[in-house]
Amino acid sequence: MPDPAALMPIPGHIDPVAVPRPAPRRDDGRIDLIGLSKDELRLALETAQLEPKQAKLRAKQLWHWMYNRGATDFAVMTDISKAMQPWLDQRFVIGRPQVIGAQVSVDGTRKWLLRAPDAQDYEMVFIPDADRGTLCVSSQVGCTLNCRFCHTGTMRLVRNLTPSEIVGQVMLARDALGEWPSQPEGRLLTNIVMMGMGEPLYNFDNVRDALKLVMDGDGLALSKRRITLSTSGVVPMMARAGVEIGVNLAVSLHAVTKEIRDEIVPINRKYGIEELLQACADYPGANNARRITFEYVMLRDKNDSDADARELVRLIHQYKLPAKVNLIPFNPWPGAPYECSTPERIRAFSSIIFEAGISAPTRTPRGRDIDAACGQLKTAAERKTRAELDRLAEEKQAALG
């Protein structure tokens, strides 16, 4: 376990962003090339004393081998001389997250527990469907936000994940699926959702830089239309996300009144529903072809009444939002303070929204048996008593004001 003093503090009244910390270093001193932009890759080679013209050529070759061929060993790079290969190997590495555990659900969902060089753990999940395969990617170790229905929210935020660690999740998934060399058609991994551990917009720069690598046409070449970033409502960063990243937006709404959303999504105390919905209305690129997704976890007798459904419809219409609603049956976890709405209640809630002309499908829970479903991600090393969870929740909510 890390030294408690090294953990990030409970957030204060200012936005609970992660305190900047140096990227974890490898014990062998080598630099991981995954996560570097094209310019950073070339500069790393120049810094290692390669002549600029040669550094430019080698950077182009390395980029192709890493992101098109999935190579992790310089020795397989046939267009790089045998004399150059050991030189590269002494100074650099083409890394992957260390896999601590891997599980496969009865429904085919896969979950990996990953470990960083500084011994911090995080998780990723791959969800296969008939017409797509979606990778749920983490952006932080832990989370500050303490959404009350979310298991990840019971963890302290330790640190942000680096671009290398974020892109590394995609690379590792493609390794596992055998998707090298990179092909634009016939992929099993077709979509990415930034919905794993952490709040992506509190790790904005690293998430942006990582997704630019994933979307690069010379590399992994995943279309921005196949990437969705989910936020709990970090309003000041939403417009920047639209301009600088440009992917689809999902918003963890989960309630339509201040009282209930303050309870289950405490960031609502800082950025209220009206402010959040206006930011959605202003989100660059949102239109009927690229609708904003509202995620709505169904909690029994908490947010699932007919009145709640009608208010949700009213708000979407009031702000003229091109939107769809994903209804998510609550996925239980040990010590959770809520129960899932009944199937009948979920159907009634969905019908009200559908009748108003708004799509409101119910998400089929995936990976529940391996704690890989929505809201269940939490590293196995983190185990707390109910009293500890309640104390941590009180600390986080008090800090948010």
Q: What is the DSSP code string of 302-370?
A: TS-SHHHHHHHHHHHHHTT--EEEEEEE----TT-S--BPPHHHHHHHHHHHHHTT---PBPPP-SGGG
φ/ψ of 79, rounded to 5, equals: -95, 10
222's CB contacts (< 8 A; 6+ apart) are 192, 214, 215
Rounded Cα–Cα distance for residues 328 and 171 (Å): 28
Rounded Cα–Cα distance for residues 195 and 129 (Å): 17
- Candidate list 51, 123, 136, 275, residue with the active-site label: 123
Distance between start and end Cα atoms, the chain: 30
Return the closest-CA partner of residue 77 out of 63, 92, 98: 63
Rounded Cα–Cα distance for residues 68 and 177 (Å): 15
Pair 16, 145: CB distance under 8 Å: yes
340's CB contacts (< 8 A; 6+ apart) are 298, 299, 300, 329, 330, 331, 332
For 131-159, give one letter per residue: b (16+ CB within 10 A) or e: eebbbbbbbbbbbbbbbbbbbbbbbbbbb
Three-class secondary structure of residue 146 per DSSP:
coil
- Candidate list 311, 374, 388, 394, residue with the active-site label: 374
344 catalytic per annotation: no
Rounded Cα–Cα distance for residues 358 and 367 (Å): 27
123 catalytic per annotation: yes
Radius of gyration, alpha carbons of the chain: 22
Instruction: Give the active site residues.
Output: 123, 374
